[in-house]
Structure 1
């Protein structure tokens, strides 16, 4: 009972309450992402077969109608297997309002073999159906209705056919995470596909054949298919299926986890500060208890009971707050997730308790232990208890190990956790140096000057407390920098990228042009464009060997090189160097009879570690082709022109199956009419509006960016708590300083104005540091990733300064009256004691 009474008194302390709130924030930040991740993981496990659409899927970049391995399926042992088919490709649906880029999916009547489609009918009722749209109907995502301004029952044109939209797709079992699948879905029956004339030779499409059956039969089929599949075909099973689904969500979850980690680390700073202050404040009561006969063992037991209650309370409330916050994440990422998520289990509740206990032990154990050991007589006599070097060293060691443990608990990857911790510490040190320098500059500029209306040298006073203020400002700057960085990357960089593109840059891409359509398409575009339009041939091929040595993705460690080897490349041929290309090394093809040579883009050459004289072997529609590298080219990717990694002489490649592609700049009044004319005359074409692509990329970035910003609100709140903690920690010095000023004739109003000025300047400096960091990141991404000029935005600087000042004032305002109105004589007597 005495323990509960003791802690009931302690709970009335401001330091105890701030410690409790900091713990709750840390647990909530982790729990919100943890609950979200747990639900995603549960959905992936639950829907493993549904996300495939079957027990086994064969995916191919070529039409599987005449695939050699189809003969295997005719064996009697596979007669019991059920089969379904689908093909997915980008297309454009024209309308009076907009030409909408969509992901078109054609399925047969057996699709899906596993799982169900969730749709909404014309009566507004949601229902689960076991098969896709019947012949003569189209089903679409909700976004298609809004973009095209149509309703259920209205008809839309898809290629050469016009069909009514009869259902809205709410959930699709095997919806992938590739870029085309972020485009709104239009689903049709494969019986309508041939009539639509959308697919032609060499179309950029993905064919999928689904199988379900007894697991032994599936395993036998896998063993027979694996050796005979071509490089453009792969097997997907329950173990490796839909990596783009889990990969996309895992990347989003990684961003969220890192955001939560930053918030937790900032909260750790506040916990450490308040824990030390709370321990010092406890020292006087502990001394009284010692004088009343309480033994150290009994006091330690009392402390353990209080810490247990604090752990329990902070853990439960933090998890509850995190649970509530994760619904915000789900709302922001609803389109990205795309499936119903099961409720997560209760395993995240113990994790919240563990995190709360870990933070308390790591940051409060050492100062509390020294408070328990403090001599009772010294405390009762108000003698100053200076922190020993041992206490400082132990506090730092405990804090560092606790922070690393928190990183490991959140990230579950030792290397990444250590890198994140090192990055946090490094960034904090850079911020601290910059912040300290700004404080010293202000003190130098304000030397000998009194602040207007205060008669107090505010900047000189701040400079004397630089160490405390640096910690306060850096913590706040970390939270603000995180938010501003996202604002820069998410919005401003895309705007600058668009501005960097030349005004006459192509704004339409036309692809899937068949060889017999080249002349007609070129004539139509030349008539509409102000400059001649060039069409480029495109042949699909996979790089299979370098200098005679077979390569796979496992040959390379670089992720870009692995991606290059894993997928089919778009190869082209030309006799003259494209105008937006420059030969950096070697020489362009000469006029002698064509030999097997190839020109390689410099970026892919660097990733693959290849150069002049190396021989590359490609698999093109099952036919090997070996060519020697005779030149390395530099490309202007921001030109919006058609570019290729590999270009061959015409005679070397022109006999292979090919489609053609072009980009064209059309005036606003001609762009839509010409696009519609092309799609009407050649239904298989895809006319891509680059503005539409950028809009969809912005939408995807916006979803993830808003979710991460949502998590970073915990960081800003934690930074604000650090402001409060720093104010509390330095309250004695500030109160004594204010008392001296009052003894010298300063009024309470003058002291209040000085305090408001100090808080505003502190927050403004934190916002300035945050804005500089965000702008630096923006420049780095623009320079090294997008490769265009990026200039500082004054608006971001102003926004950072204003935001920092507002947050600092809001969180520090509560202390102003207490400090400025403290009794002068009592304060000076306590300071002299």
Structure 2
């Protein structure tokens, strides 16, 4: 043990003395580690900053300590007594409707929020002008006040002080909303906010039987505050049929939190790709550095240093340099939340105060060190074989084959640790596992592609051009750059292609194919008494249009087979079905846009136990089977139905679809409204405006949703997400470029010898430039083809199998990939070899 510690100390001192000369040879190493570590640290730090802000500011974001939500009905007197027993109660009501100009010249979909005098229990409503809420929403001269989102004022062309119509009431805009404390907890809306009083909402006449309305009861606890679990248990025990959704301040915005966590997981995996691609650069940099230290290694051996000491010397250096790179990356990750706060402050809750997130930084640091060790140990094992004779003759050492088994075992252990960390730190371990398997398969395929390129080059016919013959020979000769180029650029380009194709297809679907297949309008909250008149207006305004009408209710899934869904482990992809209430319907016949995949549809005159048809895809995600029971709460009643069949639903058509369709006898006599769509491919924007105006003026309580407007909102969201994804993909591509630069640097000594020998034999600099250009051109083209195939395959799987959308090959993406590959390989290749071409022959020939 003493002898080992002595060797360790000697190795450490030698390592530090060598590093006094600077980090020459390690700059690409540093850049690769700093880039990948920084990406992971930044993504996780920003994600943690947002989720921590949601948790710490939960009371303000929820505008209460706890929130009870009911759909389509108000709380009963018994339920209100229960709520008032917990503390101060504030009631708000949210629904969608149409706001109109008094002269009827324009209208806009709005999300109406009606609040009481107690609102908000926490936080503050901020408007421009900044007046007390009571003054903003007061009744004056028979007109109620309202504050509106700036977007609504812009759409209707109105300003503060002017009036609008909502339902049957006239409202005066008294201010523009600057900050609504609980907007995030209310969830994402496709329409701008209009906030008014509950008295004003009653005057509008919008709430009728079956209207789609959310009533939120927010409570500020009396002291002492009970625990959230205690409240849930009491509510379930005392009011088992309430069917309300309960949310506590520590989970103020669960959907937002979950989406941020999943998106950050995706970006973390992309950052890990950049880090692993950078790991190849680490291996190249270590190999090049050790190759430049051949004489030092040989000298140490001649002076009696054991091979283990030599290995420890350079392992210490690698760990020290990696620590510097990780430190740079952690610094980037530490300042990322501060930078993000300046951009996201108005959109997401993120604290502007500088804070460190140790868990996120530690995770990135461990990833960085594991990647360093995983890719540096094998080159160290090869360096151990440097013979002492290398001191007397400038010769390389053989790097073919594997080093001794301890080095292979250590590398395997580091890779296993890297994979385990990636999987167990992920929210969705299945996706992380698939991602890692795909990455490993990518490495293997790229190695096979490099072998195939070399094989084809070896079997290529004789070329008349000497430069082209030399280029082809360089591709398959021993020590060729072929494996390094394909591996370094292959993963980065494949990721870029996959993300570009996914983004391009989504945008094409949103702006092209989807609007053509989707209906022009959705009409919500149609009362049965208005149905005939409403249908007549559509037939007059769109005589060639297709009108579809279905009964519409809202229900919340409470249990499967009697088991409370809140106590079930549900896969992430199926959680949306259980989150909040779902639109449900009943039907005698199978819907036209669906087909039964298992089971059978009920007869038209069915009168037995309640039955339900469940969407096949969602049922599979939830683990349901035929004969299982589903308990839903509708209008305060718990209804249990048995699954009679599964059906395939075409969600991408945007036509009327439901997760659950019940047998008609299930809701016999239940009050409800109707949902309708209008599809008219020939309708112009002017025709749609006329339809919207006619329906809104005749039936102001019917909510009209123009599908194109909703798609425009989604398109903007996709664009914002795509920006973040492209930035992450760009990091991976930058890492690839760094790796390529490192690979060229690692092969510079061999290239120098080749260039000197060829020039001695009569080759001109111009001929060598042409040869290198042809070589890099062929390698870049081959890598681009692989990236198109691999990235296209990944994009097809994500679009077709996960998103259930059509996948199309986009020529502009192919051209972009080819250009990037060729410019990168030729540009970096020639930049790296230009200095070699001017090398003097005599010094090199003396060393041969």
TM-score, normalised to structure 2's length? Answer: 0.84
1:499-531: CA deviations, max 9, x gaps? 444847521100111222212211111212214
Distance 1:803 1:165, change over 3 A: farther
Query: Is it true that 1:121 corresponds to 2:150 in the alignment?
Result: no
Corresponding position of 2:199: 191
Distance 1:322 1:153, change over 3 A: farther
Out of 419, 428, 431, the position equivalent to 2:443 is 428
1:698-727: CA deviations, max 9, x gaps? 222222221122122221111011101211
Query: Is it true that 1:175 corresponds to 2:192 in the alignment?
Result: no
Distance 1:93 1:290, change over 3 A: farther
Deviation at 1:750, TM superposition (A): 1.5
Out of 260, 263, 276, the position equivalent to 1:265 is 276
Distance 1:148 1:462, change over 3 A: farther
Identify unmatched segments of 5+ residues in structure 2.
1-12, 139-143
Distance 1:766 1:419, change over 3 A: same
Corresponding position of 1:106: 114
- Residues 763 and 808, structure 1, Cα contact 8 Å, conserved in 2: yes
Distance 1:561 1:164, change over 3 A: same
Corresponding position of 2:500: 487
Corresponding position of 1:715: 732
- Residues 92 and 217, structure 2, Cα contact 8 Å, conserved in 1: yes
Deviation at 1:244, TM superposition (A): 1.6
Distance 1:241 1:593, change over 3 A: closer
DSSP-derived class of the 1:780 partner: helix
Corresponding position of 1:437: 452
Distance 1:819 1:183, change over 3 A: farther
1:244-298: CA deviations, max 9, x gaps? 2311221221122112111111111111221122122123235456768999999
Distance 1:523 1:820, change over 3 A: same
| Structure 1 residues 260-659: aligned runs within 5 Å | 260-288=271-299, 306=317, 310-311=321-322, 313-323=324-334, 337-345=348-356, 347=358, 358-364=370-376, 367-368=379-380, 371=383, 374=386, 376-387=388-399, 391=403, 393-406=405-418, 413=425, 415=429, 420-434=435-449, 436-438=451-453, 440-441=455-456, 444=459, 446-451=460-465, 454=467, 456-464=469-477, 468-496=481-509, 499-501=512-514, 503=516, 505-529=518-542, 530-531=544-545, 533-542=547-556, 549=562, 552=565, 554=567, 557-558=570-571, 563-564=576-577, 567-582=580-595, 590=603, 592=605, 594-596=607-609, 598=611, 600-601=613-614, 603=616, 604=618, 606=620, 618-623=632-637, 625=639, 633-648=647-662, 650=664, 653-659=667-673
Deviation at 1:662, TM superposition (A): 0.6
Deviation at 1:822, TM superposition (A): 2.9
Q: Provide the rounded CA distance (Å) in 2 between the counterparts of 1:356 and 1:619.
A: 50
DSSP-derived class of the 1:812 partner: helix
Q: Provide the rounded CA distance (Å) in 1 between the counterparts of 2:434 and 2:606.
A: 55
DSSP-derived class of the 2:96 partner: strand
- Residues 72 and 213, structure 2, Cα contact 8 Å, conserved in 1: yes
Q: Provide the rounded CA distance (Å) in 2 between the counterparts of 1:656 and 1:217.
A: 39
Query: Is it true that 1:696 corresponds to 2:706 in the alignment?
Result: no
Distance 1:463 1:156, change over 3 A: farther
Distance 1:63 1:771, change over 3 A: same
Q: Provide the rounded CA distance (Å) in 1 between the counterparts of 2:579 and 2:568.
A: 11
Distance 1:620 1:349, change over 3 A: closer
Distance 1:788 1:346, change over 3 A: closer
| Structure 1 residues 768-783: aligned runs within 5 Å | 768-783=785-800
1:538-589: CA deviations, max 9, x gaps? 233455677x755635457555666545654433334455443445566655
- Residues 518 and 707, structure 2, Cα contact 8 Å, conserved in 1: no
1:321-373: CA deviations, max 9, x gaps? 44566666567766652554442227366666666555555544664577578
Q: Provide the rounded CA distance (Å) in 2 between the counterparts of 1:592 and 1:816.
A: 82
DSSP-derived class of the 2:755 partner: helix
Q: Provide the rounded CA distance (Å) in 1 between the counterparts of 2:757 and 2:310.
A: 38
Q: Which moved more, 1:533-542 or 1:549-558?
A: 549-558
Deviation at 1:401, TM superposition (A): 3.5
Corresponding position of 1:756: 773
Distance 1:536 1:197, change over 3 A: same
Distance 1:173 1:761, change over 3 A: farther
Q: Provide the rounded CA distance (Å) in 1 between the counterparts of 2:61 and 2:501.
A: 35
- Residues 455 and 746, structure 1, Cα contact 8 Å, conserved in 2: no
Distance 1:794 1:672, change over 3 A: same
- Residues 178 and 244, structure 1, Cα contact 8 Å, conserved in 2: no
How many residue pairs align between the two structures? Answer: 817
Q: Provide the rounded CA distance (Å) in 2 between the counterparts of 1:392 and 1:182.
A: 62
- Residues 60 and 233, structure 1, Cα contact 8 Å, conserved in 2: yes
Q: Provide the rounded CA distance (Å) in 1 between the counterparts of 2:405 and 2:710.
A: 55
Query: Is it true that 1:89 corresponds to 2:95 in the alignment?
Result: yes
Deviation at 1:681, TM superposition (A): 2.9
Q: Provide the rounded CA distance (Å) in 1 between the counterparts of 2:132 and 2:488.
A: 53
Q: Provide the rounded CA distance (Å) in 2 between the counterparts of 1:324 and 1:746.
A: 53
Q: Provide the rounded CA distance (Å) in 1 between the counterparts of 2:496 and 2:783.
A: 13
Corresponding position of 1:68: 78
Identify unmatched segments of 5+ residues in structure 1.
none
Q: Provide the rounded CA distance (Å) in 2 between the counterparts of 1:297 and 1:304.
A: 10
Q: Provide the rounded CA distance (Å) in 1 between the counterparts of 2:455 and 2:107.
A: 59
Deviation at 1:658, TM superposition (A): 0.9
Corresponding position of 1:248: 259
Q: Provide the rounded CA distance (Å) in 2 between the counterparts of 1:741 and 1:556.
A: 68
Distance 1:644 1:244, change over 3 A: closer
DSSP-derived class of the 2:224 partner: helix
Corresponding position of 2:692: 675
Q: Provide the rounded CA distance (Å) in 1 between the counterparts of 2:332 and 2:160.
A: 40
Query: Is it true that 1:216 corresponds to 2:227 in the alignment?
Result: no
Out of 115, 133, 137, the position equivalent to 1:134 is 137
Distance 1:168 1:276, change over 3 A: farther
Deviation at 1:656, TM superposition (A): 0.8
TM-score, normalised to structure 1's length? Answer: 0.86
Q: Provide the rounded CA distance (Å) in 1 between the counterparts of 2:776 and 2:147.
A: 58
- Residues 66 and 249, structure 2, Cα contact 8 Å, conserved in 1: yes
